[in-house]
Each structure stands twice: as structure tokens, then as C-alpha cells.
Amino acid sequence: MSGEAKLSAPEFACPSAGEGVPTHVAIIMDGNGRWAAKRGLPRFEGHRRGVEAIRRAVRSAGELGIRYLTVYSFSAENWRRPAQEVSDLMGLLKRFVRHDLAELHANNIRVRIIGERQGLTSDIVLLLDEAENLTRHNTGLTLVIAFNYGGRQEIVGAVRALAEKVRAGTLDPASIDCDLLEQHLDTHGIPDPDLVIRTSGEQRVSNFLTWQTAYSEFLFIPDFWPDFDDAIFRAAIDEYCRRERRFGGLSARAG
């Protein structure tokens, strides 16, 4: 994994929008609380500004020609936070879906939700279902929202589903391979992330897309998530385009 990056480049390394840019960018949106604390504001204001940053990221991704954008909005571990903060985050999710869904749909954006829905309140489940159903046939950018999501939990769920099929006698254990397991993940049909960005300077993945990021490029940037804008996003894509991905093979320069 790369260390913390200072993003600056005099020229854009990718040839053009949609050419050379990553197909799938995943973002660990970190630093809302610290952004607010630095300004003497309540944590809720940091989360609210974080939602605005999501809107900017969606616009930038579409302009850059990125096909999939995944945002880590609420982890399975976030339930450990104070009850009021969890309630605030749920409220922001509801407002985002209610206020932004029509615009996302009008812009041909498809919404996918990954994560565990069991245990969520019925109103939230209905909103998540509505977002997916309304935009199901859209063909532009796919916005993947990781909500109540944990990478390890996702893998356990896939393994459990395979085990049930083995127990029912409909699956031969010898036929289980990586491709079959991937078909039982929340992200089935979505390509693995080419680039994972984490804001706020923290350098860990926090149980995010554990299976899918085996060969992703990582970029850790110092900016807090509410400050994430088009210039920062483009600089991150520029950094990605300057890297050489080898997927376990040799560099072309080595040969």
C-alpha cells in the first residue's frame, strides 16, 4: 500500500476522460468528525458536509468517465458509535435518498446498495429498495453505497450460502472456486475496484471490500472527507494513471 500522498501534478496523466481512468473507484470517506472539531462545530455538521462531498464526487466521477463509484457510508462497526450520532447518520441517509434520488435517476445513474439489511428499520429498508428499483435500468455511472457493510461479514455470508447449497445436495464442494464465491458476494456483477482512496491521512482499510481489493491500488490522502472536491479527485486519478499495475506479474520495464 502506498503511504500518505501529496496530490499535485502539472499535467493530467490520463489521456482523456474515460480513457486510462479507473473503471471502478472506491472511497473510504473518513474525517468528518475531525473536520468539524477543527472548526469548533458539532460532529453532525461534519457528516452533513460529508454528504455534500458525496454529491461532488458523483459529479466528478461522471465527468471523468468512471463507471463505478463505491462509497463507504456506514460500516457494520459504526453501530458502536454514540446513539445520537448513529441517529444523525440514519437521518442523513434518509435525506440523501429522498432529496437526491430523483436527480440521480434523471442523470442515468444506477444505485446499488451493499451490506446487511436484516435488522434495519423498515423505513430505511424501503428507501434502499426504492433507490435500487427506480434506477435499476439506468446505464450511466453506478453508485454503490456500502451501508451497514463489513467485508468479513460479506465473505461469511457468501460462505454460508455455499454451505447451505452443499448441505442441500445441490452443490459439489469440489466445484467451489473464487469465481463461484464471488457470485455470492454483495458485489456480484460489479468489477473489483481499480483504485481505493481513503481520506483524512489514516492508512488502513477498516473492513472495506476485503475480498475485492486484493489487487487494487491504494491512495491515502491527508484531506478530510468534507474537503474532497473535484480538484482532489482529479489529482487522485492522475496519481493512479501514473502507476503501473502488474497483478502479480513483472513490470513491462523489467522485461
Q: Is the pLDDT of residue 144 over 60?
A: yes
- Which parts are annotated binding residues for substrate? 31-35, 43, 47, 75-77, 79, 81, 198, 204-206
Residue with cell 522485461: 255
- Which parts are annotated binding residues for Mg(2+)? 30, 217
Question: What CA–CA distance (Å, rounded) separates 90 from 34?
Answer: 19
Q: pLDDT tens digits for 189-243?
A: 999 999 999 999 999 999 999 999 999 999 999 999 999 999 999 999 999 999 9
**Choice among 30, 100, 186, 238 that is catalytic:** 30
Catalytic: 30?
yes
Q: Is the pLDDT of residue 66 over 80?
A: yes
pLDDT, mean of residues 5-28: 69
| pLDDT on residue 245 | 79
Residue 71 in grid coordinates: 462509497
- Which parts are annotated binding residues? 30-35, 43, 47, 75-77, 79, 81, 198, 204-206, 217
What is the pTM assigned to this prediction?
A: 0.89
Q: What residue ranges do the domains of the chain occupy?
A: 24-241
- What is the CATH code of the structural domain delimited by 24-241? 3.40.1180.10
> Which of 105, 147, 97 minimizes the C-alpha distance to 127?
97
Catalytic: 108?
no
